[in-house]
Structure 1
């Protein structure tokens, strides 16, 4: 929900103007700035940041005074870096036509970005790199700078410390200096607190933009619109009417050659206290007074603070084994043959406040599952059966409202109707809405809104230090248990370990099926 900033009215025109398509309706170009990307040669830069900058250029949302400096180890010419990114983007456009909505590049939009790219060689932990970078920024067209840490987590603290020691995070003469930190933001509560202390030693909280790309998805942002812009939802969005909430992020792919990285992380750390908790926060938060960044983040922080700390009884971990979808995790490159790293995690979460007391939130995520799906399903409580007890009706299916985030974008509502015929029989039907049926699709890889908001100074979709720490605190006991949690096996291509089904069965509930019989919606 980006708000406009006074900074958006600033102008710093260069000789080259953006020739791309007309500016998005109601939007102004972001203020001029220099975007410094640490990790210029990495996959994140190639697959997400550059396509996002291209899309923002095509929408004419970048100021002509923008410069993009890519910092990476190893000497190379700027022209070589530009050529590599161009080839990468062409391949991306051909492979991801649905994301770009075309397999052909807008050459003007991409050339606008290319003309602003500059490769800057340097090691991330050497003083000399930052001395040269400071001198380069002194010659930049704009005094505004965004430092983007598109690097492995082990480099976060060294880079921040060097930027701080060199004085490059100091804001002077009305210019901003902002720091974008990718996840994982810590690996547990202690490491998250240490990283926050490092940031706040050199910068103000308002300068820190802890990014979670889930929040860049339009369908995630629309959760707040669905909840708070429709009178039919908010009155029943509470414990009196809702039985449980299920949040699913299921993938059909495995670790895709990233076994070495995944061995250090696992599904729980990778997804639960960040992506899935962010979705939980948007579903469970109280109405904010406005869409001002701090109002929204205050309400989400209240949710995380109210989460009852998880115990071993609330969590099921799993690891995919050889099955219909392919080989097991231990057969993946870079994975130890005796690995106990989980590729599946399910958790039962309680938010202990007045609105949600007693309502379980069931979270699950996993790789090599039967279907790719990210969704939030809100199951209402069953209505009294009294009216139907003298009819052939055996049971009433609870109403379920589902927000579909990925790959389908939309909502659906399951409810009961009478089956045509002379007797009272109840049948379940589904009413569904797809975004593509009502709105023109826009090119989006998930980072466009986040980059644009960061340049505007709108932190609504970014995480705050207190929320990061309360989320880790809620799961810290599970990460450091008295004894290791068991990791259950499940067949690649299945819905996950049987113990995850039992987690809900113990509460008299079942997971929403991953294989949807209403596939057409």
Structure 2
């Protein structure tokens, strides 16, 4: 996590495989640029884009400047900031499959060591398609440079494996080439300010932690909804789906932050140990239970702004009889003393009415036998809502007397908003995570056992769905998903919360 002071990391070189790709254009370089402006980058640094596209250093910088001006939270930045930043950015055209080409990277590091006269942290960021990761990692692992476990790190983007078997294989491959402390499995959700704030909210406030358990909490909901469809990602999404793409990594990691026990320190492995404990405590799902605790859906055509929008199966790169789900909802239980029998409802989907990621902690209702019946018509149990995106806020719902001569109770909200409470813009998730990689803080990154534990949670669902032919499409674009998703919570006497 970003340190309390502007303590800069040591001299660093960031090599970005897939340097000419979308992730670097939209996220990585804008994040590095903002870290530079905020004086979090080291005084001596270099960013090297690697790819097969025929860029020169100058044309590569021009391309990245377009990305900053389109996607950065500082689209312009202070005067002359880009002129100061860009000389440290360069491009190396290379084929990632050519093992001999990797010596160029070692030579570059050696040259900079001589030039700067100090040890250098080296970050290899694999912003590439998943199928390219094993080959690149294998070629990097052959470099003597990568034996330096203190200064060399490799960053791997999700998806981390396609299932439990492939995740284990990838872990075994990476573990044979690098030490675990060198491997940073990145999940950008964990870099978001409000996700990080969950631990502060719980463990820095005596108000919440005593009631953060089964005695007072009725259920927990985590929703990540998107209004858009595929946005040209049909080829990728067809091999993934909502359960793999969102729930297996993002939402289960958020669940861990909500459900974890108090750490004895904020040291990286202590936090990650607590998260693994949560994942291992999630009740295992039997094949015959899948139909009762998991729902999938796929959007069909719908209306938006008076226009007919095509369904998922009409999207480019999608099979006309695709079984890939664009919506998934599950009910999970964490079987430990704190959370026994408290349901955790997770849902995610594309083509829904709102773009939002929210966490809802619904508390059990207080007894109202002391109040006259007419006073409790608007009664609503206490609720804590943590908004991750687009609004970053925390809302506490409680009961208050309505002004007037009669006794009437209404629910009201107490709201903390990042936008209103703090000046300036909060850092983007990738800013936080890239700085953590450079400083060697792995707190917000997934460890090998974490990844495998998460896959174990969803594997029974994936196996059951694989053997069935769903009735798709089963919800129109612009709705809140299939009817079965509503029934998943309604049969327990609850409803999905949207704010």
Bin for the TM-score computed over the shorter chain: over 0.9
Paired residues of 2:300 and 2:473 also in contact (CA < 8 A): no
Measured after TM superposition, the shift of residue 284 of structure 1 is 0.3
- Map of 1:9 onto structure 2: none
Q: Which moved more, 1:308-317 or 1:364-373?
A: 308-317
Cα displacement (A) at 1:391: 5.0
Measured in 2, the distance between the counterparts of 1:395 and 1:91 equals 46
Greater shift, 60-69 or 465-474, is seen at 60-69
Distance 2:182 2:433 in 1: 14
* TM superposition score normalised by structure 2: 0.93
Question: Could you say which residue in structure 1 is the equivalent of 2:103?
Answer: 131
**The residue matched to 2:219 in structure 1 has which SS?**
strand
CA distance in structure 2 between the aligned counterparts of 1:359 and 1:115, rounded to whole angstroms: 54
Find 2:446's aligned residue among 459, 463, 477.
463
Q: Distance in 2 between matches of 1:443 and 1:120?
A: 32
Do structure 1's residue 111 and structure 2's residue 83 form an aligned pair?
yes
CA shift at 1:352, angstroms? 0.7
**Residues 147, 321 of structure 1: alpha-carbon distance in 2 compared, 3 angstrom cutoff:** same
Shift of 1:418: 3.0
Indicate the residue corresponding to 1:300 in structure 2.
275
Q: Is 1:508 equivalent to 2:493 in the alignment?
A: yes
Q: 1:364 aligns with which of 344, 347, 372?
A: 347
1:474-495 C-alpha deviation (Å, 9 max, x unpaired): 1111112272263561111111
Structure 1 pair 433–144 and aligned structure 2 pair: CA distance change class (3 A): closer
**Who is 1:211 aligned against?**
186
Match of 1:386 among 355, 366, 369: 369
Shift of 1:107: 4.3
User: What CA distance in whole angstroms lies between the structure 2 residues aligned with 1:66 and 1:420?
Assistant: 61
Aligned counterpart for 2:196 among listed residues 202, 221, 229: 221
SS of structure 2 residue aligned to 1:349: strand
TM-align CA RMSD: 1.8
The aligned runs of 1:462-501 (5 Å cut-off) are: 462-481=445-464, 483-484=467-468, 486=470, 487=472, 489-501=474-486
Select between 114-123 and 479-488 the one with higher mean Cα deviation.
479-488
Q: For each residue in 1:30-78, what CA deviation from the matched residue of structure 2 results, as whole angstroms up to 9, or x when unmatched?
A: 1111111100111000000000011000011111221111111133322
Partners of 1:457 and 1:298 lie apart in 2 by 18
Q: Partner of 1:234 in structure 2?
A: 209
2:34 to 50, 55, 63: 55
Aligned residue runs from structure 1 range 3-82, under 5 A: 26-82=5-61
Higher mean displacement: 139-148 or 457-466: 139-148
Distance in 2 (alpha carbons) for counterparts of 1:79 and 1:390? 74
Match in the other structure for 1:145: 122
Match of 1:451 in 2: 434
SS in 2 for 1:139: helix
Structure 1 residues 412, 143: CA separation in 2 closer, same or farther (over 3 Å shift)?
closer
Q: Secondary structure at the match of 2:222?
A: strand
Q: Which runs of 5+ in 2 are unaligned?
A: 114-118
What CA distance in whole angstroms lies between the structure 2 residues aligned with 1:402 and 1:304? Answer: 22
Corresponding residue for residue 156 of structure 1: 133
**Aligned counterpart in structure 2 of residue 323 of structure 1, from 302, 318, 323:** 302
CA distance in structure 1 between the partners assigned to 2:165 and 2:387 by the alignment: 34
In structure 1, runs of 5+ residues without a counterpart are 4-24, 94-98, 517-521
> Normalising to structure 1: TM-score of the pair?
0.89
CA contact (8 A) 1:488 1:499 kept: no
Q: Does the 8 Å CA contact 1:2/1:458 hold for their aligned counterparts?
A: no
Report what 2:331 is aligned to. Answer: 348
- Displacement of 1:213 in angstroms is 0.5
